[in-house]
Structure 1
Amino acid sequence: MSPSQPKLLDQVRAVIRTLHYSIRTEQAYVDWARRFILFHNKRHPQEMGKEEIESFLTHLAVEGRVSASTQSQAKAALLFLYQRVLKMDVDWLKDVVAAKQPQRMPTVLTVDEVRTVLSRMEGLPWLVASILYGSGLRVLEACRLRVLDVDFGARQILVRNGKGAKDRVTMLPDMLTDPLKSHLELVRLQHQRDLEQGHGRVFLPFALDRKYQDAPTEWKWQYVFPANRFSTDPRSGEVRRHHMEEQMIQRAVKQAARDAGIPKKVTPHTLRHSFATDLLKSGYDIRTVQELLGHKDVRTTMIYTHVLNRGGRGVISPLDR
């Protein structure tokens, strides 16, 4: 490597940022590239091939006992490293055997169970959890909402750059209109105080802050659910108020389910699953539900149709006859 050429992991970061991948993807892919190199005694990836990758993935499954999804992420990171960063032809990498992810039915709550969980929550966690169930958002999508994404007039929420880098529109429940407006009034006052103290700049994706220099301080670009403290941006080093952490909602939902005595594994994503199944039960067609959820393939949405059946695809047990 020439003195002027950046280090390999810095090259990975640069390519990821050029492609506008998320900070989480950047951190994960850089970490997997580092682990792969260290596993093979710091050999450069250009010196390695299919055999080394298979041994690394096998090590993860056998020794590390990682899940199939984790192993799949490691394989995707290595595919990115070879194809995008090193510009190598690695069609053989697609044939590298990886563990098959098990197909499991999603955990779903009944309407009464959802009401019980939400009744044991209050304040900001209640509002976010209500949006997850009422609008079908993923928890990170809710945390990343901007003020201009909430359209009270049209009673809809715009989800920007969701999973698969897609935008979609979903409904804004009527019962959340007043609580959300009251919440935004408090957020606006906080934003005004931040501006007065020399802060108030928010992160904008795709270099929009360079194209629209005043946008980072504008009200419409602020997060609906901002963090309660300032933090340092790991990429730019700028100190600003980011969006709230999804872990806060995860802990609140799990605790509410425990307090309610619900014997199911309940997470914020369970509320999204329940949103989908309740719509299907109400008679909405699966294509509509697919669009609201932002699924690329309708087969992903079809997993929720199990709630419309009784065991054995609707066949009535002879014992019940």
Structure 2
Amino acid sequence: MRYQGQSGVVIGQKGPATSAPPRLLDQVRACCRVRHYSQRTERAYVGWIRRYILANGKRHPRDMGGIEVTAFLTALATEGEVAASTQNQALAALLFLYRVVLEVELPWLDDVVRAKRPRRVPVVLAPDEVRQLLCMLQGTHWLMGALLYGTGMRLMECLRLRAKDVDFVRNEIVVRDGKGGKDRHVPLPQTLREALQRQLEHARLLHGRDLAAGHGEARLPHALACKYPQAGREWGWQFVFPSAALSRDPLDGTLRRHHLDEAGLQRAIKRARHAAGIVKPATCHTLRHSFATHLLEAGHDLRTIQELLGHKDVATTQIYTHVLNRGRHGVLSPLDR
């Protein structure tokens, strides 16, 4: 379905137009892909821009300005009761629309107030709680959960892991294109060597079947598929955790075997938390927090943990120093004295 606004902006149906100029949301998608933004960022920006246009009677953004942007963000906070991070994401999408897509530099853009994000202490599980949580997981979900805790990887970094990036000789895993487009090395837990090798054998068998059926081509990042047309069929580029079925690539429509859906592990972690009787609101990201906290408690320096986590600034890693305020070397309560 297509929606035509009062000023002629079309915010619906995807796909390039034949004679008319590109639709606004198609321009947004094109600008995101030129800058190699992730599909998640692209979907988020398109969604917020669509909501912004619909909230203002389908008027073209060129006909609106600071008043409409401020009113939209205020409504999100007062009526929608969204979190500060969500409100800032909406603002980032609108700034991208005006500055990048429409190439409009307006003085009010710098005056829009960003919501102040509250400083929260991360949820961290004790080592015994981590052990109980992992004991409630089975099969591939157990292996992925153990990898999140044992390496500090983010959920999508684990799911997007390729066979070539698991190095059993050097006992390390290479995380490619992490947050901010950065690569890094994380240790390969010795406890998981055999389980990872079995998982890779399973993935190799699936890849062999796909090749025999005329498929087996993995999506390559950026323009590598043009430079190396046959590389997508090589074993090294296949996902360590492949999905059970083939699916259509949303970008080019090719039938491929993608990696597992993140929702499956998220649901498994939630069930395991309830089964283990853990009251803390533990998620997949909690295992990453626990990884950093337990390394800090073991005496590793903050700079090393920053590199393992892939943080751009050490100030981000310093949030885990809350553990230094407890224990036998921490602050002693005056009541205990």
Decide: shared fold, TM above 0.5. yes
Specify the SS of the correspondent of 1:253. helix
Deviations along 1:183-209, whole A, 9 cap, x unmatched? 100110010001111111111111211
Q: Which amino acid letter does the alignment assign opposite residue 135 of structure 2?
A: S
- How many positions carry a matched residue from both structures? 320
Output the CA distance in 1 between the equivalents of 2:136 and 2:46: 40
Tell me the equivalent position of 1:305.
321
- Asked if 1:271 is matched to 2:297, the reply is no
Q: 3-state SS of the aligned residue for 1:157? A: strand
User: Cα distance 1:143–1:91, how it changes in 2: closer, same or farther (>3 A)?
Assistant: farther
- What is aligned with 2:245? 229
Q: Which amino acid in 1 is paired with 2:121?
A: M
Report what 2:11 is aligned to.
none
Deviation at 1:310, TM superposition (A): 2.4
Deviations 1:124-169 (A, max 9, x none): 0000001000000001100000111111111111111111111111
Greater CA deviation, 2-11 or 301-310? Answer: 2-11
Matches within 5 A, 1:70-219: 70-90=86-106, 92-219=108-235
Tell me whether 1:27 sits opposite 2:34 in the alignment.
Answer: no
Identify the structure with bigger relative contact order (alpha carbons < 8 Å, sequence gap 6+). Answer: 1
Deviates more, 1:83-92 or 1:19-28: 83-92
Structure-1 separation of matches of 2:81 and 2:270: 26
Distance apart, 1:91 and its partner CA: 5.2
How far did residue 319 of structure 1 move?
1.4
Paired residues for 1:232-243 under 5 Å: 232-243=248-259
RMSD: 1.5
Which residue in the other structure is 2:3 paired with? none
| 8 Å Cα contact 1:131-1:137 kept in structure 2 | yes
Unaligned runs of 5+ in 1: none
Post-superposition offset of 1:25: 0.9
Deviation at 1:230, TM superposition (A): 1.5
Q: CA deviation at 1:21?
A: 0.9
Amino acid of the structure 1 residue aligned with 2:142: W
AA matched with 2:202: L
- Work out whether residues 117 and 257 of structure 1, in 8 Å CA contact, stay in contact via their aligned partners in 2: yes
Deviant stretches of 4+, over 2 Å: 1-4
Distance 1:233 1:36 in 2: 28
Tell me the equivalent position of 1:252. Answer: 268
Matched to 1:164, the amino acid is: G
Q: Residues 95 and 124 of structure 1: is their aligned pair in 2 closer, same or farther, counting only changes over 3 Å? A: same
- Where structure 2 has 5 or more consecutive residues not aligned to the other structure, the ranges are 1-7, 9-16
- Provide TM-score, normalisation by structure 1: 0.96
Kept after mapping to 2: 8 A contact 1:57/1:98: no
Q: Distance in 1 between matches of 2:82 and 2:335?
A: 42
SS of the residue aligned with 1:194?
A: helix
Q: Deviations over 1:2-51 (max 9, x none)?
A: 95420111100111111111111111111111111111111111111111
Counterparts of residues 47-66 of structure 1 (less than 5 Å): 47-66=63-82
Deviation at 1:282, TM superposition (A): 0.7
SS at match of 1:319: coil
